[in-house]
A and B are shown apart, each in its own frame.
Chain A
Amino acid sequence: MFSFIARSLIQKVITLFFVAVISFLIIHLAPGDPSQVDPLNPKFTPEMVERFRSQFHLDEPLHVQFALFYKDLFTGKTVSWKDNRPVLDKIWERFLNSLPLFIVGTLLTWTLSFPVGVASAIRRGGLYDRTATFLSYLLISIPGFFFAYVMIIFVVTRFHVPVIGMETFGLNASSWLHAAMDRVWHLLLPSILGATGGIAVLSRYVRSQMLEVEGQDYVRTAKAKGLPEDQVHYRHALRNALLPFVTMFGLVLPGLIGGSVIIESIFSWPGMGRMAYEAILARDYPVILTVNFLSAVLVLVGTFISDLLYLVVDPRIRL
């Protein structure tokens, strides 16, 4: 157990190092230079460009830049090139905006997919199962931005509620209840949109796990004993089918930092995804690299947690 943890930690640190190197190379070897963002701007005199380059170490060789960047990152001193604010502060601020979307979306995904998946496994081949299967393919295939516009048209014309942004502008005069409902309405659509793909995929997965367990001998034995249907399905089958999902808690983690670029830009939601998108447009390398690095850390931590959970849950696995 201990040696497994140690080995896996070392491996993850090495992986992280290579991720850092590769993302740094991708960004810096791409054609174009961040100091030439706006060559038409009259304020961009050659002296300015020179000062900019030396201030952000762009005149150093690549490996020196790499070392300087990650030294700054680990001491928390990295600043955005666009507005000179510390990157970590910026990310934290946007992270707090994205967090409600993530929490509501994850809750929706996990609470909806299990009942749907289990029910369609129990009624395998029936009308409910076929409808659920088709609907989940539909939800996997629908482009998020198209679905977003369909929902916006529906909600705005049907309920006459504004949904773009985090809250309706200039509403602070009204009562707190009104303001709270406003926030909920604004939160609802982007969260649903963020969750659709997850619901479709996860419910299919729940269904296939459940079907696998339902085919086991002990389930047949339980049925043959004459136990009530519900007891067989929920006490015998479901409990064992849930096993692999415990490990999936770890894999939720990377979603914390990604945010959805497309959904957040449609709804003008000032979250992580939008920040990353704006950073890409402005060639704000420190922000891009930091977001990339943090999300790689979360992926690695997530897989580590899910490995550990597997060890705890499944006694058959001994490493």
Chain B
Amino acid sequence: MNDEREKAILGVSDREVLPPAEGRLRSFWRLFRKNRMAMAGLAVFGLFLATALVGLVLTSGTDPLMDPATVRLQEKLRPPLSKPNLAMLRPKEVPALGVYLFGTDDLGRDVFARMLQGAWVSLTVGFVAVGISVIVGIFLGGIAGYYGPRPVRADRVGASVLLTLGAALLFTGSGVTGGAILVAGHLFLFWDLLWGRVPLLREKMPWVRVLRVPLFSVDTLLMRLVDIMLCFPSFFLILTVVALLPASIYNIMIVIGLTSWMGTARFVRAEFLSLREQDFVTAARALGVGDLRIIFRHMIPNAVAPVLVSATIGIATAILTEAGLSFLGFGVPPPHATWGNILSDGKRFIFDAPWLTFVPGVAILVVVLSFNLFGEGLRDTLNPRLKERH
């Protein structure tokens, strides 16, 4: 009933208020399908995902079907597609496919099994690192974009400096000073809150107001943080941190993620700044919708397109970075295979056993290329200017 009246007032017929004939996803797919390079990228990505999952199942466990760690010294450096010499091998050592599909390395390990094992590492590093960077980027960019103009007060800066400094000193060993600063920070915070609540204190000590002057905005704080992070030479920083921390794949993921969120944060901030001024956000706010719901339900879905594109390309970059780190000998501890360390182990034999260089090299190239092409295809398809033309 209400609807009818609304339509009558607005002067629109039934047909015009229906949702568009084609959903967002369908129209996206229709445009995306036309981009052949991006489709090829998507296909390779699907294949890579399947390979990594199958590889994980086949090569892990106590008694894997294809053991990437089986050493057969009598069968070392066999070229791809060569048949194993069955007379020399124990039944357990015979490769599962009956043939060395990608040859063997200098210890006679099956390169195909090692490649399968390495696929999972590349996949998880790419996705987890980018996941971390996207979460941090959306969080900080969203805060800067939505709460940007709010001021940061002097007393809050003071309290956080005291607390961080105290905690840092406590951790590094100077316990007494650190503890004292930490206690002082808590006392300051408590007193500051008390001053805000108790009118009597406010009358007695009006000069405390000086401590409450706004120093800078939230936006300034976060964007300067982005500037600071951009000053670090990224590969060098990652290398330093990874070398100083104990060798583990999780450290690599976290470090790559924490050093690559700046682009996402900037995109999200820019999107939020323009979305905040749009009518649907004003309407939501007028309806009394809370900040969190506005951010998560109304703004993030509209801001996600550029993030998706940069995340796809970020996965490509993360895979390359991880391969570079394993090539230099950092990262996953030795018996475990990654594409980077297969190549790094094989570099001593580039003239005698070029497959040890070419198999992992081409695999990295193809996977990274597919992510890049897919990402560029997404960028083209999600570009609103392009949509209007079709």
Contacts and interface: CB of A to CB of B under 8 A. Distances in A.
A140 interface: yes
Interface in A256-297: 257-258, 261-262, 265, 276-277, 280-281, 283, 288, 291-292, 295-296
A61 B177 contact: yes
Interface stretch (B64-72, B134-142, B277-285, B343-351): B343-351
Contacts of A28: 172
Interface residues of A, number: 53
A197 to B, nearest CB: 10
Interface SS, A side: helix
Interface string B113-141: 00000000000000000000000000000
Contacts of B240: 26-27, 280, 288, 292
A45 interface: no
Please classify how large the interface on chain B is, using the bins under 10, 10 to 19, 20 to 34, 35 or more. 35 or more
A153 B354 contact: yes
Contact of B361 (A25, A143, A283, A288): A143
B365 interface: yes
A145 B343 contact: yes
A113 to B, nearest CB: 18
B241 A30 contact: yes
Contact of A143 (B37, B243, B350, B368): B368
A152 B376 CA distance: 31
B233 A254 contact: yes
Interface stretch (B20-28, B54-62, B100-108, B223-231): B223-231
B376 A258 contact: no
A255 to B, nearest CB: 10
The 6 A-B residue pairs whose C-beta atoms are closest, nearest first, are A146-B361, A30-B244, A141-B369, A141-B368, A296-B231, A280-B243
Interface of B: 37, 168-169, 171-174, 177, 224, 227-228, 230-233, 235-237, 239-241, 243-246, 316, 320, 323-324, 327-328, 343-344, 347, 350-351, 354, 357-358, 360-362, 364-365, 368-369, 372-373, 376
Given A144-B324, A276-B239, A292-B232, 10 more contacts: A22-B228, A61-B169, A140-B372, A146-B364, A149-B343, A149-B357, A156-B351, A157-B351, A254-B233, A280-B243
Interface of A: 11, 14-16, 18-19, 22-23, 25-32, 61-62, 133-134, 137-138, 140-146, 149-150, 152-153, 156-157, 254, 257-258, 261-262, 265, 276-277, 280-281, 283, 288, 291-292, 295-296, 299-300
